[in-house]
Amino acid sequence: MLGDYERRDSFRCGVGQLKFGRSHGRQTRDTLDCAVARSVVVAELGGGQMIIDPFARDCDFAHPYTNDINPETNAMSNLDAEEWLEALRGQYYPGAFDGAILDPPFSNHQADRTYGTANLYTIPGKIKRIEMLVGSLVRHGGKVVKFGYNSNFSHSAFECVGVQLVRYGGSMNDMIISVHERRIAEWF
Ligand SMILES: C[S@@+](CC[C@H](N)C(=O)[O-])C[C@H]1O[C@@H](n2cnc3c(N)ncnc32)[C@H](O)[C@@H]1O
């Protein structure tokens, strides 16, 4: 059962199914500097578990399993996310990790303008392959916390169990935080 991320403005759809919340936040390049974002990650992935973060920037929540293509960040590896996940899959057995943070640039425009990278949305199928790799590395019962402009997660062994909207005000796009739990063990 999910804990309450943000009590104000939140409700539960169905009994023990989808936790939903909406709250105000501050937009930042370092996503987990936003208190709401961090509270969801701590609630869902906290507790000294083995977490992977392919787009970590300077965030050390998943240390030492952190990667970011930008070598000027604090991440432990500086590979393209897909390459890094393929390498992890070569080193660890399927389902070796307890969870994942999935926080890529949210669009091609943001990738280019904010982070100076632009291969995620221009190479067909890349985001889907990254999501499949992340899913294959997370164990049964483990969770993926995804940040973006949508709540999709491609791996079919996972079910969406929580959504937290972060609104910034005015005409700015919300950030959608979605939580996906692995419900099927044998599907890598
Ligand atoms: C939204 S930021 C991550 C912020 C981080 N989660 C935090 O809390 O501070 C996205 C990161 O993805 C990185 N990135 C962009 N394209 C990438 C790629 N193909 N592979 C790995 N990292 C990439 C960018 O350098 C950027 O630091």
Residues 116-137 have pLDDT tens digits of 887 899 999 999 999 999 999 9
Contact yes or no for 51/139 (Cβ under 8 A): no
For the ranges 7-11, 107-111, 137-141, the maximum mean pLDDT occurs at: 137-141
Stretch 159-169: mean pLDDT? 95
- Specify the ligand 1 atom closest to the Cα of 110: 1
Ligand 1 centroid to residue 14 C-alpha, Å: 34
Residue-level pLDDT at 76: 98
Cα–Cα distance measured from residue 49 to residue 62, given in angstroms and rounded to the nearest whole number: 9
Sorted by where each starts, the structural domains of the chain and their CATH numbers stand as 11-182 (3.40.50)
Give yes or no for residue 144 having a pLDDT over 60.
yes
Give yes or no for residue 2 having a pLDDT over 50.
no
Residues 41-60 have pLDDT tens digits of 999 999 768 999 999 999 99
Q: Tokens standing for 99?
A: 């969870």
Testing ligand 1's pocket by substitution, the residue of 85, 115, 131 carrying the most ligand atoms inside 8 A of its CB is 115
Testing ligand 1's pocket by substitution, the residue of 51, 76, 78, 117 carrying the most ligand atoms inside 8 A of its CB is 117
Report the 3 state secondary structure along 85-117.
HHHHHHHCCCCCEEEEEECCCCCHHHHHHHHCC
Give the residue carrying structure tokens 């998943």: 62
pTM over 0.95: no
